[in-house]
Chains A and B, each alone.
Chain A
Amino acid sequence: MRAGGWRWAGLAGAGLVLLVAAFAPLLAPYDARKIAGPPLMKPSGEHWFGTDSNGLDVFSQTVMATRLDVLIAVTTVLAATALGMAAGLAIGMNESGRGGIGVLARAGARAADFVQAVPAVLVGLVAVGLYGSTPVTITVAIVIILMPMQARLVRTEVLQVRGEAYLDAARMAGTSELRLTVRHVLPNVARPAVLYMSVLFGVSIMLTAALGFLGVGVAAPTPEWGAMISRGATDASLGHWWPALFPLTVLILTVLAVTAAFSTFQQGRQRR
């Protein structure tokens, strides 16, 4: 596909996903938590995506699950990016400092590196086990997992910017260190972190779905992609493909669309 086609497909897809997430209750023809027909009906005009082994309408479930998963993903990505930028700036600006702050900043940098080697799914499992499987727990856990990724990225950028002459100039002019960081450093280091949000979005969706797939995600009657795929997997091994295929396809297309939409920003900026 041409780069332009990829770009518009991504933007259109991401827009569509957001619209579906926003108006999910209006789009779902049946109540996603109540039995809508006989179990395991093939996709038809009445049930577009068929029904699952409990007789729930797969289309309604998929639409409602989109709302929940996308909401969690968007919230976690925004929160993790904001917190990660703050942490990355704090670490990067203080890393070569003397005394307690410098030591703390260096420890923070090492810790952010280390967290990359920790299996995220297991962190999610522990969080859910200790604090209960509510959407709030899952959101907080994912923010904690994603934040170091942004912090690391921003820190690397800060280290490159830190020696620039315009910072010294601003210091000479009597700008406070905080104001300097926010006004002059942040605008120059934010771009990679903003572009990286598409990767975080994917990771966030995967984690929510993986916990749901394991059966410890958002509690049972609430429709969620991972839980739907997990239940559909049992049907799939008996030859009933639709309860798993539809949420699975929507999940993959959602992440692909958001990734493509973000890659257009990257290309758009490079061309200028």
Chain B
Amino acid sequence: MRPWLHHNGWWLRRLLLLPVHLLVFALVAFALVRTIPGDPVLVVTGNQISDDQYADVQRRLGLDGSLAHQAGEYFGRLLRLDLGDSLITGRSVTEEFGSRLPQTLELAALGLSVSLVVVLALSAVVLLRPRGVISRLAMAYARSAGAIPEFAVAVAGIFVFYASLHWLPSPLGRLGPDDPVPTPVTRFPLLDAVLTGNPQVVGSMLLHLVLPVFAMVVANSAVLLRLLCSQLEVELARPATRFRISTGAPRWVVLASIYRRALPATVTMSGTLFGYMVGGAVVLEGLFGFGGMGQYLTDAVTSADLTALQGLLVVIAAVSLVVFLLVDLINMALDPRRRPGSGGAA
């Protein structure tokens, strides 16, 4: 047991810190809602309410009693994963997020996966044939990093491929009007469709996903491509590469060695990229009629739905913390020197 703990402490310790970090962010969310200008009760309801209603709304917002009492209630409910009921829609915020968040995360994950595949492929071309046409185009694209918003690509895509050419289905949801909706099992729509095993539904869903995923990939991959290519260039020039070549190792071993040394920065960047992808997914969902977080959040913002926003903060923190943890763990696995307590030279 002892040596096992010793060898695996690096990731165990990070995992145990997760709830602590989450608690900090829950506290931040709790504090932020109490800093908004004006009386939150009046912000939510408008001005015309009786005293009875006032007290009722205050209680349902979790704003009655002393601050300690409020905090006790809030954290007590948080432990039961209860984010409260929205005063605007009257529905449980936890349930709304539970059904919507998977859709958004799936879209973001698809965007990130496609983006990683494209970037790895392009970077290999740039590494092997730096003067070729594809490499030049790829580098020109990398230089545009951050200049093209995903909604711009999406609007242009809808105009060209739907309105003009009719190659892609209308941007009105994940499925065509005649496709049966797959039974929710995991609540990740594409995964559910695959699990239900109806090829027509899967095909239709993929066709509906082409444009949003394409838009997210075009808008966000340039940063990653630029970073990976510059890292690869640095690692290519290192003595370690010359060592591999001089030992007569096959070409793919040399490549693998270069990539392994160049990857940590890319992994870190992928974590950031996932954040961009979630943001992109939220922005695009409304445009494509997908029922994810997008529409719900814009409604929550325009109607000043404090309960939903407070819950959103906690959920953002939870998702980001998990991504951050994964990034750290992958990097520590790739490069043991990054593990805490290894003294910098393991």
Enumerate chain A interface residues (CB-CB to B < 8 A): 113-114, 116-123, 125-126, 128-133, 199, 202-203, 206, 209-210, 213-216, 226, 229-230, 232-233, 236-239, 241, 244-245, 248, 251-252, 255-256, 259, 263
- Is B198's CB within 8 Å of the partner chain A? no
Smallest CB-CB separation from B170: which chain A residue? A237
Give residues of chain B (282-311) contacting chain A, Cβ–Cβ below 8 Å. Answer: 282-283, 286-287, 294, 297-298, 300-302, 304-306, 309
- Is B246's CB within 8 Å of the partner chain A? no
A130-B36, A233-B155, A251-B152 are known contacts; what are 16 more A-B pairs with Cβ within 8 Å? A117-B274, A117-B320, A119-B275, A119-B320, A125-B312, A129-B301, A214-B297, A214-B298, A229-B152, A230-B151, A233-B154, A239-B163, A244-B159, A248-B152, A248-B156, A259-B145
Smallest CB-CB separation from B303: which chain A residue? A129
Does the CB pair A210–B146 fall under 8 Å? no
Residues of A near B54 (CB, < 8 A) are none
Smallest CB-CB separation from B309: which chain A residue? A129
Bound-state Cα–Cα, A263 to B327, Å:
30
Does the CB pair A122–B282 fall under 8 Å? yes
* Min CB–CB distance A90 → chain B (angstroms): 20
Residues of B near A245 (CB, < 8 A) are 156
- Is B33's CB within 8 Å of the partner chain A? yes
* Min CB–CB distance B251 → chain A (angstroms): 32
- Is B279's CB within 8 Å of the partner chain A? yes
Residues of A near B294 (CB, < 8 A) are 214
Bound-state Cα–Cα, A270 to B284, Å:
40
Q: A117-B275, A129-B301, A130-B309 are in contact. Are A256 and B147 (CB under 8 A)?
A: yes
Q: Specify which of B36, B156, B279, B300 is in contact with A210 (CB 8 Å cutoff).
A: B279
Does the CB pair B272–A237 fall under 8 Å? no
- Is B144's CB within 8 Å of the partner chain A? yes
Give residues of chain B (247-305) contacting chain A, Cβ–Cβ below 8 Å. Answer: 268, 271-272, 274-276, 278-280, 282-283, 286-287, 294, 297-298, 300-302, 304-305
Does the CB pair A236–B149 fall under 8 Å? no
Residues of A near B309 (CB, < 8 A) are 126, 129-130
Does the CB pair B155–A116 fall under 8 Å? no
Does the CB pair A114–B147 fall under 8 Å? no
Bound-state Cα–Cα, A203 to B276, Å:
10
Does the CB pair A126–B312 fall under 8 Å? yes
- Is B124's CB within 8 Å of the partner chain A? no
Q: A116-B275, A117-B275 are in contact. Are A236 and B286 (CB under 8 A)?
A: no
Give residues of chain B (306-325) contacting chain A, Cβ–Cβ below 8 Å. Answer: 306, 309, 312-313, 316-317, 319-321, 323-324
Does the CB pair A202–B146 fall under 8 Å? yes
* Min CB–CB distance B222 → chain A (angstroms): 10
Residues of B near A119 (CB, < 8 A) are 275-276, 278-279, 282, 316, 319-320
Bound-state Cα–Cα, A125 to B311, Å:
13
Query: Can you name 22 A-B residue pairings with CB atoms under 8 Å?
Result: A116-B268, A119-B276, A119-B319, A119-B320, A121-B282, A122-B279, A122-B297, A125-B298, A126-B312, A129-B305, A130-B32, A130-B35, A213-B149, A213-B283, A229-B152, A232-B155, A237-B159, A244-B155, A248-B152, A252-B152, A255-B147, A256-B144
Bound-state Cα–Cα, A125 to B303, Å:
12
Q: Would you call the interface of chain B mostly helix, strand, loop, or mixed? A: helix
Does the CB pair B287–A113 fall under 8 Å? no
Q: A118-B316, A123-B316, A129-B300 are in contact. Are A209 and B279 (CB under 8 A)?
A: no
Does the CB pair B316–A252 fall under 8 Å? no
Smallest CB-CB separation from B294: which chain A residue? A214
- Is B239's CB within 8 Å of the partner chain A? no
Residues of A near B287 (CB, < 8 A) are 233
Residues of B near A244 (CB, < 8 A) are 155, 159
Does the CB pair B146–A114 fall under 8 Å? no
Q: Specify which of A123, A130, A216 is in contact with B298 (CB 8 Å cutoff).
A: A216
Bound-state Cα–Cα, A209 to B305, Å:
23
Residues of B near A118 (CB, < 8 A) are 275, 316-317, 320
Bound-state Cα–Cα, A263 to B325, Å:
34
Q: A113-B324, A210-B151, A244-B155 are in contact. Are A239 and B279 (CB under 8 A)?
A: no
Residues of A near B152 (CB, < 8 A) are 229, 248, 251-252
* Min CB–CB distance B224 → chain A (angstroms): 13
- Is B47's CB within 8 Å of the partner chain A? no
Q: Specify which of B155, B286, B313 is in contact with A214 (CB 8 Å cutoff).
A: B286
Smallest CB-CB separation from A248: which chain B residue? B152
Residues of B near A229 (CB, < 8 A) are 151-152, 155
